[in-house]
């Protein structure tokens, strides 16, 4: 089973590298959020790379959000991550990714889900050139919410990976 999973991962990795390669050759467009196609997400990062050079990490998005019960990166999250990857490639320090879940469902299942999300971000970073040894993932599950109350608005803020 492990072997199978590994192969699957390699497949995904290869595919993503291909996509990233294609995307980087595209010319700029606005890259609106919610864009469903992969070709729109990396380009703005590349186009604006020089602008990010001098920017502090705080000016870039450090929180990446997820859909309910999902650990797949959204187009918006990929776009924000691409900007971070550009910045991180110019540094050498450790990268800590903290995975979180909303409060629905059991705590232990949610901590596993938070780890899946943190790993999804870590894998994406690794594929795009950040050495895996620099990346540490920790899941807090539903233990560290940033928004409180029982609404989809608060839940969606809590389903996240934070870059520290």
Partner 1 sequence: MFKQIVTVLALVLASNFAIADLTIEINKGKDDPVPIAIVPFGWQPGVAVAEDVASIIEMDLHRSGQFAPLSRGDMLGRPRNASEVYYRDWKSLGVDYVVVGSLTQDGPSALTAHYELLDVNTQRVILTGTESVSVDRPRYLAHTVSDKIYEKLTNIRGAFRTQLLYVSAVREGGNRTRFRLLKSDIDGANESVLFDSREPIMAPTWAPDGKTIAYVSFETSRPAIYTQNLLTGVRKQLTSFRGLNSSPVFSPDGTQMAMVLSKDGSPDIYVMDLASGSLQQVTNHFAIDTEPAWMPDGKSLIFTSDRGGKPQIYKVQLGSGAVDRMTFIGDYNARARVLPDGLGLVLVHRNRGNFHIAVQDLKRNRVEILTTTNLDESPSVAPNASMLLYATQYDGKGVLAAVSIDGGVKYRLPSRFGDVREPAWSPFLQ
Q: Give the footprint of partner 1 on this chain (CB under 8 A).
A: 1-2, 4-5, 8, 103-109, 111-113, 115-116, 137-141, 143-144, 146, 148-150
Whose Cβ is closer to partner 1: residue 35's or residue 63's? 63
Whose Cβ is closer to partner 1: residue 83's or residue 135's? 135
Q: How far apart are CA 90 and CA 49, in angstroms?
A: 11
Whose Cβ is closer to partner 1: residue 80's or residue 135's? 135
Q: How far is the CB of 94 from partner 1 (least distance, A)?
A: 12
Phi, psi of 29 (to 5 degrees): -145, 180
14 φ/ψ sector (left φ>0, alpha ψ -120 to 50, else beta): alpha
Q: How far is the CB of 126 from partner 1 (least distance, A)?
A: 14
Nearest Cα to Cα of residue 130 among 99, 67, 87: 87
Q: How far is the CB of 5 from partner 1 (least distance, A)?
A: 4
Q: How far is the CB of 42 from partner 1 (least distance, A)?
A: 27
Whose Cβ is closer to partner 1: residue 14's or residue 109's? 109
Which residues in 145-158 are b (16+ Cβ under 10 Å) and which e? beeeeeeeeebebb
Contact 76, 33 (CB under 8 A): yes
């Amino acid at each position: 089973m492990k072997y199978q999973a590994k192969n699957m991962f390699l497949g995904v990795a290869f595919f993503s590298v291909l996509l990233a390669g294609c995307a980087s050759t595209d010319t700029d467009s606005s890259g609106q959020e919610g864009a469903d196609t992969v070709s729109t997400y990396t380009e703005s990062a590349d186009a604006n790379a020089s602008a990010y050079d001098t920017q502090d990490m705080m000016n870039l998005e450090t929180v990446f959000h997820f859909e309910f019960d999902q650990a797949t990166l959204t187009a918006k999250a990929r776009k924000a991550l691409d900007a971070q990857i550009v910045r991180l490639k110019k540094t050498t320090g450790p990268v800590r990714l903290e995975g979180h879940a909303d409060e629905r469902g059991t705590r232990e299942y949610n901590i596993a889900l938070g780890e899946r999300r943190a790993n999804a971000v870590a894998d994406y970073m690794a594929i795009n050139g950040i050495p895996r040894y620099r990346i540490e993932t920790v899941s807090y599950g539903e233990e560290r919410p940033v928004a409180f109350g029982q609404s989809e608005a608060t839940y969606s803020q809590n389903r996240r990976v934070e870059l520290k």
